[in-house]
Amino acid sequence: MPTPSTPFESKLRLFLRFLRFGLLAWGGPVAQIAMVRQELVEEECWISRERFNRVLAVYQALPGPEAHELCVYFGMMAGGRIGAVLAGLGFMLPGFVLMFALSWFYIAYGIASPWFSCVFYGFQAAIAALILRAVHRIGGHALSNVRLWGIAILSAVGQWMGVHFLIVLFLAGAGYMLSEKRGEKTLSHMGLWLPLLAVPQTAGLAVPTVLALFGYGLQTGLLTFGGAYTAIPLLQHYAVVTGGWMTDRQFLDGLALSSILPAPLIIFSTFVGYLGGGPIGAVVLTVGVFLPAFGFTLVGHRFFEELIENKTAHAFLDGITAGVVGLIAIAAVGLFQTAVADIPAFVIFLLALLALYRWKAKASIAGVMLMAGVLGLLIGRFS
């Protein structure tokens, strides 16, 4: 491999390069990271493979969409802080524009048409399969010992009992950090906080303000450990459980739309914001979600590299990730009940789940979603 050398690129060329990445960002974070790595590391040798692996490890431990964060990192290498902003904007812009347009169409015309209703019927069943697959995949990596399994289960119980998810995640991280220091016995005391903090939350709040939407997005962006799927229970909590400006079915529709776009799945936040506050709401919620992904590199990538090397911090992050797995599991149950309400939907769900486990192509998620939509259309036509 040639000696690594980061080129200096003009701001326009840098933006257009990452805009192209954004237009080709099919297949989820694994495919997106592979695409960036192939061009910038393997072909153009911006950095060494070893350096790339270390950088990727840092961003995988931090919250936010790691593929987007890598683009910001490479943009900063080639063009400083302005380059970092341009690279990040270029990568997210195609998905944002498409999601914004689909959100407008959804609000303006809805899915009252029998054709649209049938397609979304299939989409929603496939999304239930996608979330279940995500719980398995993230849990398989995150729950590496009995204590982490215990934290995930306790976090799920806490969410079910009505404990605010911020409290759940903080205690999940702190609990595992303490268990690493004190051993397995700590686990036996970790359930004590559940009945003490189980304060039911009130649903159906007023229409959210612009500032509130930004705050929801920012909290989500700071807590999406383990990939974009971890944003699902957080935004569902704000938009469906306590905010009440969306139903579970609408939330599933937003997830379905984002799954067929060339973008990080977390771009469904644009849809959530649009339903909460129109075009301005879509923009501010999206800005809030993606702001940490820009900030980690712009403010101090080196600091976070050093932080991740700290074993205590690593244990705290592992505990939070385990807690998020529990939150996703509870969210998945509610969304499954909404999406899979009859036998045809259950059949689509099973077929989508099988395809997600067996189909490894880059565009597998978009392909599964589109096939589920076709099945929904066929079922609606012949039923």
d(CA 276, CA 246): 8
For the chain, the maximum distance between any two Cα atoms, rounded to a whole number of angstroms, is 63
Q: What is the pLDDT of residue 226?
A: 63
CA distance 140 to 248: 26
pTM of the model: 0.75
Nearest CA to 292 out of 215, 380, 185 is that of: 215
* Residue 312: Cβ within 10 Å count: 11
Place of tokens 């397995």: 184
In this structure, are residues 169 and 339 in contact, taking their beta carbons and an 8 Å threshold? no
Tokens standing for residue 23: 């237009």
For the chain, the straight-line distance linking the first and the last C-alpha, in angstroms and rounded, comes to 59
Q: Which two tokens stand for residue 367?
A: 């392909």
One-letter identity of residue 278: G
Residue type, 84: A
- Amino acid (1-letter code) at residue 185: K
Structure confidence at residue 184 (pLDDT): 45
CA distance 283 to 28: 22
For residues 56 and 50, is the Cβ–Cβ distance under 8 A?
no
State residue 4's pLDDT score.
67
pLDDT in tens, the chain (383 residues): 556 677 778 899 999 999 999 988 876 676 788 889 889 998 888 988 887 877 877 787 778 888 899 999 999 888 888 999 999 999 999 999 999 999 999 988 876 677 778 888 888 888 888 878 877 877 777 788 888 888 888 888 887 887 777 788 788 888 888 877 664 444 444 444 444 344 444 444 457 899 999 999 998 998 887 667 778 888 988 999 888 899 988 998 988 888 888 888 889 999 999 999 999 999 999 999 999 989 888 887 677 666 656 666 667 777 877 887 887 788 778 778 888 888 998 999 999 889 888 877 666 777 888 888 889 888 877 76
Sign of the dihedral defined by the CA atoms of residues 152, 154, 157, 159, in that order: negative
Q: What are phi and psi of 102, to 5 degrees?
A: -65, -35
Q: What is the pLDDT of residue 286?
A: 96
- 162 alpha-carbon distance from chain centroid: 22
Q: Which two tokens stand for residue 150?
A: 């215990």
Closest CA to 173 of 130, 207, 142, 136: 142
Element (H, E) at 120: helix 114-142
User: What pLDDT does residue 194 have?
Assistant: 43
